[in-house]
Amino acid sequence: MDKSEVRHLVARRKKEYSEPQFEQMSRKITVRLQALPRFQEAETVFAYMDIAGEVRMREFIRNCWEAGKRVGVPKIIPDPSGKRPGASGKMRFYRIDSFDELQEGMMHIPEPDMERCECLDQEEKALVIMPGVAFDTDRRRIGYGGGFYDRYLALHPQHPTIAVAYEFQVFDRIPSDELDIRPEMVVTEDRMM
């Protein structure tokens, strides 16, 4: 299977689950994630704002705030040339202290309001929680095709990284490219790899 076929297969698998099932699986993942020493030691956590079918992040982010951690979420800065909107843009992380500091961004994903939020790109040791479309047991990752996390992490290699996924997103082996960056760990509702 190529990356496109894997993405289509995962999209079909997502349709087999209900909203309560996604919530229940996300809660299990959040509990596993928060029990990790890597999470407990982190002062700053870079999370993401989930879209349909992704591991839910709002409860996790609330728990980070309650634990006194700084939270950053991504903002996509479009390519100033206007060519290939989004796909060649940059991802940066901005601190949020409330979900009220978000506004609709690229692909309708909530993003931090740059006018109200502090850029945290200098936080080189922040724990990065990564989404993805698919993973394998060797932690290879297929994203949505924009390459934002791969480019960001190539420029910021000191960040510890943990990906979160549902078990149905995990394969024995998926295709990967030389530039694809593997997270240090993948956490699902059933296991950690």
pLDDT at 135: 97
Domain spans in the chain, listed from the N-terminal domain onward: 3-187
pLDDT at 86: 47
pLDDT at 36: 98
Q: Is the pLDDT of residue 25 over 70?
A: yes
What number is the average pLDDT over the span 127-155?
Answer: 95
Please give the model's pTM, rounded to 2 decimal places.
0.93
What number is the average pLDDT over the span 92-118?
Answer: 95
| C-beta of residue 171 within 8 angstroms of C-beta of residue 135 | yes
| C-beta of residue 78 within 8 angstroms of C-beta of residue 89 | yes
pLDDT at 1: 86
Q: Give the 3-state secondary structure of the chain.
A: CCHHHHHHHHHHHHCCCCHHHHHHHHHHHHHHHHHCHHHHHCCEEECCCCCCCCCCCHHHHHHHHHCCCEEEEEEEECCCCCCCCCCCCEEEEEECCCHHHEEECHHHCEEECCCCCCECCCCCCCEEEECCCEEECCCCEECCCCCHHHHHHHHCCCCCEEEECCHHHEECCCCCCCCCCCCCEEECCCCEC
Topology at the third CATH level for domain 3-187: Rossmann fold (3.40.50)
Q: What is the mean pLDDT of the chain?
A: 93
| C-beta of residue 188 within 8 angstroms of C-beta of residue 132 | no
